[in-house]
Amino acid sequence: MNKTKPDFNIFTNRPKNSKRMKKYIYSLVLAAVTCGGSLFAQSVDQGKKLFYYERYKSAKEAFEKALASNPNDNKASYWLGQTLLELKDTAAAKALFQKALASNGNAPELLVGMGHLELLEGKKEEARQRFETAISLTKGKDIGVLNAIGHSIVEVKDGDAKFVIEKLTPLTTQKGFNSPETWIVIGDAYRKLGDGGNAITSYQRALQIDPNQAAAKHRISKIYMTQKNTEVFLPALEEAIRLDPNYAPGYFDLYYYYFSRDVNKAKDYFDKFLAVTDATPANDYERTSILFAGRRYDEAIKTAQEYISKLGDNADPRYYKLIAYSYDELKDSVNAKKYLDEYFVKQKPDAFMPKDYEFRAILLSKFPGNEQEAIANYDKAIALDTAQASRLELMTNAAAQAKKSGNRELEAEYLGRLYQVKKDPSNVDMYNWGFANYQAKNYQRADSIFTQYQAKYPNEIYGYLWTARSKQAMDTSMAQGIAVPDYEKLAQKAMELDPVKYKGQAVSAYFYLVQYHNDIKKDKAAAMKYLDKILEVDPANADAARIKEILNKPQKKTGSSSGGSGTKAAPAKK
């Protein structure tokens, strides 16, 4: 016997046999679709938020979930691709975009994603065409697409930041504009161009739209961080995490800042970072590096070696660098160099930092015969560093290393580069540059630099002193007399500027002129004149009195008619 189905809906307890029932079923389907779309959108938005917090592992899971629900959602594909790029899985990102474009070749977001990849591959024209097509398809009105293009360009080393500013700035003047992300991308473009002022203004405008935009405040701190302006960048970092306590990058930078300054503060910020970020192998490395910061070098070495043994080829190459630094602190240069060499073998070329090359230069310099390679590593560090303040520090350190190795010519070269790139070089910078050239026996160059020094700092003695000495070094026999005008000027300036403070320089200059006129020109009267000047400045000068007495004695006949005194004056003091 067939059982009769109940004639009412078990969910609504209403009859099923009416038009209203059909409408109801339709509304349920529509609601389900709408609800599913909402959940999907929520999943993408959630992924974007996780991406913003740099929680890429969680973001990847969110976007994959969204795509599992709707494989044709282009926004989910775009953001998953961006997340894969952040996770350094370029191959997976490329496969994703290629597959998605095969199904929808005119999706703007996918075109932007593929354009980003092409930029990374150095295919600038292909990437630009993708971007222009995406802009054309959206009639230049889709802020999300334009933001994505801007992000792609500023993220890539050779990206055209001016193009970003040109395309995105007009959006900000449109009626109803309220995208803080746009201002952040514009700020990133200005920062890429080295225009810190306009970058900060852009980030501040993002904050005007969204006062809780921690990323904008974080980027402001980054600009002042590169300038080593602690009084500004530290409060900005602290403000970023106050605006959004879940903003992991802010905690990480505070941890990184205190890493070499206050290990307890560093650990505190790292723990706060761990509370709002994903668990990753990189975090294990940072935990180990805190041992180094706490000067627990043996423990840092042991822990790093355990991770290397456990993970094998998948171990973070930085463990080798950490071990190298630890051995260096333990004064074991042999093992330090051994592990740093391993680090340079295992690390990806684009992952090296300027300080890596500097540390390598320092280690190499401890082993005789590696001086040139050490300097070459300093050059790599300087070339890689884009921050002005740290580049200047590297050049200063490179010059010191060159001096220590006895390469005064290279020291002079670095100090010259340092002087040229400094925004406001000081008198000390110019002096060091000139003196290094003098020490390197580049006397003409030294003379040129100190002549400029005279013009720029006319009330300082050093320009006059070292032009005279440079000319003297170029004419050691005095035969050409090229240093004479400079020594006359040195004596004059010494007396004008401060005859007490610069008495020694005046006396030295006069002695040179005594020697020149007596020994080279055979002009006893001129020599006596300069001896008198010495005794005016320094009445107790025994050398001047002795030489004057000798010159005043009647000249012995030697059969020579040279007209000279026949007595050599005391050599000019250096």
Say if CB 391 and CB 422 are below 8 A apart. Answer: no
* Burial per residue of 15-29, b for 16 or more beta-carbon CB atoms within 10 angstroms, e otherwise: eeeeeeeeeeeeeee
Nearest to 484 by CA among 497, 472, 466: 472
Tell me which of 104, 130, 164 is where a domain ends: 104
In a domain, 30, yes or no: yes
In a domain, 189, yes or no: no
Q: Residue 556's pLDDT is what?
A: 64
Cα 10–chain centre separation = 69
Q: Residue 558's pLDDT is what?
A: 54
In a domain, 559, yes or no: yes
Question: What is the CATH number for 26?
Answer: 1.25.40.10
CB within 8 Å of 37: residues ≥ 6 apart = none
Residue 340 tokens, joined: 């740093």
- Expressed in percent and rounded to 5, the helix, strand and coil fractions of the chain are 75, 0, 25
CB within 8 Å of 142: residues ≥ 6 apart = 108
Tell me which of 66, 86, 104 is where a domain ends: 104
* Burial per residue of 182-208, b for 16 or more beta-carbon CB atoms within 10 angstroms, e otherwise: bbbbbbbbbbbeebbeebbebbebbbe
Say if CB 178 and CB 142 are below 8 A apart. Answer: no
Q: Residue 11's pLDDT is what?
A: 27
Say if CB 551 and CB 564 are below 8 A apart. Answer: no
Ranges of residues in the chain with a pLDDT under 70 are 1-42, 555-574
DSSP secondary-structure letter at 557?
Answer: P
In a domain, 174, yes or no: no
* Burial per residue of 322-341, b for 16 or more beta-carbon CB atoms within 10 angstroms, e otherwise: bbbbbbbeeebbeebbebbe
Residue 552 tokens, joined: 């005043």
What's the angle, vertex CA 373, arms to CA 408 and CA 289, rounded to 5? 110
**pLDDT of 400-452, one tens digit each?**
988 887 889 889 999 999 999 998 999 999 999 999 999 999 999 999 999 99
CB within 8 Å of 319: residues ≥ 6 apart = 285, 288, 304, 305, 307, 308
Q: Residue 466's pLDDT is what?
A: 98
What radius of gyration, in Å, describes the C-alpha atoms of the chain? 37
In a domain, 269, yes or no: no
DSSP secondary-structure letter at 40?
Answer: H
Residues 172 and 373: their CA atoms lie apart, in Å, by 51
Residue 451 tokens, joined: 């002549």
Tell me which of 104, 126, 151 is where a domain ends: 104
| Direct distance between the N- and C-terminal alpha carbons of the chain, in angstroms, rounded to an integer | 126
> How many Å is the maximal CA-CA distance in the chain?
158
Helix (H) or strand (E) segment spanning residue 170 = none
Q: Residue 286's pLDDT is what?
A: 96
Residue appearing with tokens 């294990």: 284
- Domain range spanning residue 550? 485-574
Nearest to 323 by CA among 283, 291, 354, 358: 291
For the chain, the domain total comes to 2
Residues 548 and 569: their CA atoms lie apart, in Å, by 9
Nearest to 508 by CA among 524, 486, 482, 523: 486
Residues 80 and 170: their CA atoms lie apart, in Å, by 29
Q: Residue 561's pLDDT is what?
A: 42
Residues 58 and 462: their CA atoms lie apart, in Å, by 63
CB within 8 Å of 49: residues ≥ 6 apart = none
